[in-house]
Amino acid sequence: MTAIVYVLLGASALGLCVWLWRHRVGRREGARGAITAGLVALVLVASSALPLAFVQWDMVGKSVEHAQRIMGLAAQHMSLPLLGFACLYLASGWRWQPVIWSRIILGILAFYELSRYLEWQTGYLWLLTLIGAVGLAASGLLNIGRDRRVGILCLAAIVCLLAPTLISGLTGQLPLLSLLDASSHASWLIPGFIAAGMAVGVLAEQAHNDSQNQPEHETPSES
């Protein structure tokens, strides 16, 4: 049963990737960059979840298990903050070049290595988790008077993605640990990532629609 849950998690993440990719059409450069960041997060989730299903079925070797651990660590640390940043970017009307997203990803990786050196990995993971959750919460609040769907989706994402950790209570389970190790709590991640991915798509339609909308705010591109 656990393996089936991970298949559903991976399949839903890939389905969201297809849906978000279609939302890139006709969007501004900045919005496309935010959507791409959301795509990276969801691809990491799928790349972690699907191999875990095959591990549960004993269909893969040690090399695949090792690769899954790497992707699981990446998904555990980057998926929520990237989705949170993408939603907040789209909700707030920020403007920056798409290259900033790659710098954010590299920064997360660099500070992860620093946290390992300082033996502060648990604190760093919690920091990233809180950043992602705050980004989603702020996105919902910024749109509370414009589109209630965003607030509902962001709240659902926060609750579902953090539910396994909250349920574990005193056992001290780390956030999104189900992306790294197989767990029955992984079923909570399915609606959580679906809600977060849909929030990115809805915000992309709403705040950064076609380039002809609000042309006076468009920053001239650099030559």
pLDDT of residue 169: 63
pLDDT of residue 53: 85
Averaged over successive runs of 10 residues, the pLDDT of the chain (223 residues) comes to 90 95 81 91 94 80 83 94 95 84 93 93 94 95 86 95 78 82 87 95 72 43 38
Q: Which amino acid is at 15?
A: G
pLDDT of residue 62: 79
Residues 208, 31 contacting (CB under 8 angstroms): yes
How many Cβ atoms sit within 10 Å of the Cβ of residue 25? 8
Instruction: State the Cα–Cα distance between residues 161 and 165, nearest whole angstrom.
Output: 8
Instruction: State the Cα–Cα distance between residues 137 and 82, nearest whole angstrom.
Output: 14
The model carries a pTM of 0.88
pLDDT of residue 114: 94
**Cβ partners under 8 Å of residue 223, min gap 6:** none
Instruction: State the Cα–Cα distance between residues 140 and 152, nearest whole angstrom.
Output: 7
Q: What does residue 182 show for φ and ψ, rounded to 5 degrees?
A: -60, 135
